Homo-oligomer: A and B are copies of this chain.
Amino acid sequence: MSAEHATPPEKASPVKKTYTRPLDIRHGRIDMGHGAGGKAAAQLIEELFLPALDNAYLRQGDDGAALPLPPQAASPGQLVMATDGHVISPIFFPGGDLGCLAVHGTVNDVAMMGAQPLYLSASFIIEEGYPLADLQRIVDSMGAAAREAGVPVVTGDTKVVERGKGDGVFISTTGVGWRPPGVSVSGRHARPGDVILLSGTIGDHGVAVLSQRESLAFETTIQSDTAALHTVVADLMAAVPGSVRVLRDPTRGGLATTLNEIARQSGVGMRLQEAAIPVKPQVDAACELLGLDPLYVANEGKLIAIVAPEAADAALAALRAHRLGADAARIGEVTADPHHFVQMDTRFGGRRVVDWLSGEQLPRIC
């Protein structure tokens, strides 16, 4: 059916990541790394999900899909659809909770496609015995976040699983947006010479969540950055129309993994300046203590924008003019590199390859 009205999406990058060995589908088992957003997750998607569900939209490889409306709809634009499962633990953390996170995460995935988020759906999977008062808190937070973003939750579903077969509450949200004709933002569009902008400090979300985990009785005042970024995107796209090539929010796997994904999708390299990447001192200190690299820690209210070089200054100014982009910075450039390496000039004058997350660093961070 959809094939009839499909305009063929742009071709996905032919670059295939090479993995040490193929998935052992016959004897293998899911491990936490398959959910961590790094190399193992990418391999699972490439070798198991993509072949089974194969279609041109899925192969776009972005965090959502850009979709033609059927001819009868007589609309010039595209639908954008994105989905995200939220299994964060603990459910309540400094600066947010599962409810607002489930709204922000999916609003952001739609916005990163260059679309205006319009509607959300929510599927709740709740463990038997979960306190109604906590569920109320989660759903209230979800409602408040949806109202603040102006993107209503228009339909939902609730399932209950037996005690010990779930973990409190899981929420899968799906967002639908509309993208005007002519807008084409994708992880496939970075070109050598483009400038890489980051909308603010990294690592806040992951460190805030970790600080709440019982096993790490780590005292901190660090708050999650969880926020809906669609108005930042709207301001940015209005400031430099036609010059935004890639938008992506560096969630699971952090900045390092997200940039590697883009490098691979676009078939380019990247060169970062470590000193230019904003990190809050408390986050830096916490990462030091916990043995984490902030480059790999999840964010929930930050975006990467890759823009044409001539638009970089205006784009950075537009980001900084927004409340959620006050700490925006220019962190590097896109390079021509057949190996698609992300390299970084370190604070100490050296240079190193920033690989993507290979397994699990922080499970259940979003």
A30 touches B130 (CB 8 A): yes
Which of A41, A82, A149, A170 has most B Cβ within 10 Å?
A170
Give the CA-CA distance A142 to B27 in the complex, in Å. Answer: 21
A3 touches B150 (CB 8 A): yes
CB of A133 within 8 Å of the partner chain:
yes
Which of A1, A3, A79, A149 has most B Cβ within 10 Å?
A1
A30 CB contact (under 8 Å) in B122, B160, B364: B160
* Chain A 81-140 interface residues, beta-carbon cutoff 8 Å to B: 81-87, 116-119, 121-133, 135-136, 139-140
B1 touches A151 (CB 8 A): yes
A170 CB contact (under 8 Å) in B1, B2, B129, B170: B170
* Chain A 255-292 interface residues, beta-carbon cutoff 8 Å to B: none
Which residue of the partner chain B has the closest CB to A40?
A: B160
Which of A42-50, A303-311, A335-343 contacts the other chain?
A42-50
B67 touches A118 (CB 8 A): yes
CB of A220 within 8 Å of the partner chain:
no
Task: Give the B-binding residues of A (Cβ under 8 A).
Answer: 1-3, 23-36, 41, 44-45, 48-49, 52-55, 57-58, 63-65, 67, 69-70, 72-77, 79, 81-87, 116-119, 121-133, 135-136, 139-140, 142-143, 146, 149-162, 164-167, 170, 172, 174, 176, 178, 180, 363-364
